[in-house]
Amino acid sequence: MAEPTFTGPFRKEMEDFISLKRSVGYKYNTEPGILKRFDSYLAAKYPDAATLSREAVTGWCSRTMHESTANHCLRASVVRQFSKYLDSIGTNAWILPRNYYPVGQQYVPHIYTPDELRRFFAETDKCRLCPEVPYRHLVMPEFFRLLLSCGLRCSEARLLTVRDVDLHQGILTVRDSKNHNSRLVPMPESMTLRLRRYAGQVHPFPEPSGYFFPGYGEKPMTLGNIYKNFRRFLWKAGISHTGDSPRVHDFRHAYCIYRLKQWAQQNRDLMVLIPMMRTYLWHQTFHETAYYLRWTADVFPDIRVKLEKCYQDIIPEMEGTARETD
């Protein structure tokens, strides 16, 4: 993807800001495009500005007609971070206050019931051969099971290469994930066995750099293709899809919540296991993992006492934010 060319009054600062973000580990792929639009706005309205005024910030950050809450919040967040950067290097800049714009209701993840999961995977197992994507009927059952059994993000799974999947030790190497980080993810034995059978059919002569879940040609599956098949399996399984829910990402939520439930029911030491889960999922902060404590307590009230006994006062409330953990 080509880097944007900035022409506004803060063009050098924007370039330096992007470089700084990437130097500390952020991918920062989407944000430069947002900054480019902000730069064009400044170049047109404030071409000689030496400071970033409140008028300039609020003028561009105001929500546009038909703009989604998520997109609006992202635009405002990027500009807020840039303003803070300008302030840190001595340039007078008005910093958009946190929660300056009202945010929408937080997305409530769909927690699949055991029966829904059974029906969903029964449909993936019925996936038919597709001439355009000859391995689709083999890929789909294992791809979605891997999301659930290991709590992977969708793109982490679809970008796995053959060399990333160690079928002898049952370990995945997730490369260049969120914030340019990589990690090792152990698989359940049952998932390893399934993938060994799958690899024997799809990769009889394995090419290490080839995608483990191939899409059209030699490319990885696209997010659009994954979502299209996901919707089809939901429909055939009789699982209602309204608005934005359920999502593919909800398999990650389900992994976390059912794992916490299992640990609580087994009287495992959550003080030890929660930090391990944080590392396994590659959450940057404990707060991201604590998000699941609340959902587990709400979905399974019978184990709430056990959770609160270990993590009193840190099971977070879900009100007042449009963000969710990843």
Give the containing element (helix H, strand E) for 183.
strand 183-186
Give the C-alpha separation, 99 to 103, whole Å: 7
Residue 109, domain member (yes or no): no
Same domain membership, residue 52 and residue 130: no
The answer to whether residues 232 and 263 belong to one domain is no
pLDDT, tens digit (0-9, with 9 covering 90-100), for 174-210:
987 665 678 899 999 999 999 999 999 999 998 999 9
Question: Maximum CA pair distance of the chain?
Answer: 65
At which of 54, 88, 122 does a domain end? 88
Strand order in 183-186's β-sheet?
Answer: 165-166, 171-174, 183-186
Same domain, 122 and 201: yes
Tens-binned pLDDT, residue by residue, of the chain (326 aa) = 578 999 999 999 999 999 999 888 777 888 999 999 999 999 999 999 999 999 999 999 998 877 777 788 889 999 999 999 999 999 999 999 987 776 655 667 788 889 999 999 999 999 988 877 789 999 999 999 999 999 898 999 999 999 999 999 999 999 876 656 788 999 999 999 999 999 999 999 989 999 999 988 778 998 889 999 999 999 999 998 876 678 898 998 888 888 877 877 777 776 676 777 777 676 666 566 666 666 565 555 655 555 555 554 444 443 333 344 56
Report the CATH number at residue 157: 1.10.443.10
Select from 323, 264, 320 the least CA-distant residue to 296: 264
- Confirm whether pTM is higher than 0.75: no
Peptide bond into 114 cis (omega under 30): no
Residues 232 and 129 in one domain: yes
Backbone conformation region of residue 165, classed left if phi is above 0, alpha if psi is from -120 to 50, else beta: beta
147, 154 Cβ separation under 8 angstroms: yes
**303 and 203 together in one domain:** no
Domain limits at 180? 114-237
Same domain (yes/no): 231, 264: no
How far is residue 28's CA from residue 71's CA, in Å, rounded to a whole number?
16
Q: Cα separation of 222 and 179, whole Å?
A: 21
Cβ-based burial of 213 (10 A; exposed 0-12, middle 13-18, buried ≥19): buried
Residue 202 in domain: yes
Residues 202, 289 share a domain: no
Q: How many domains does the chain have?
A: 3
- Which of 70, 88, 106 finishes a domain? 88
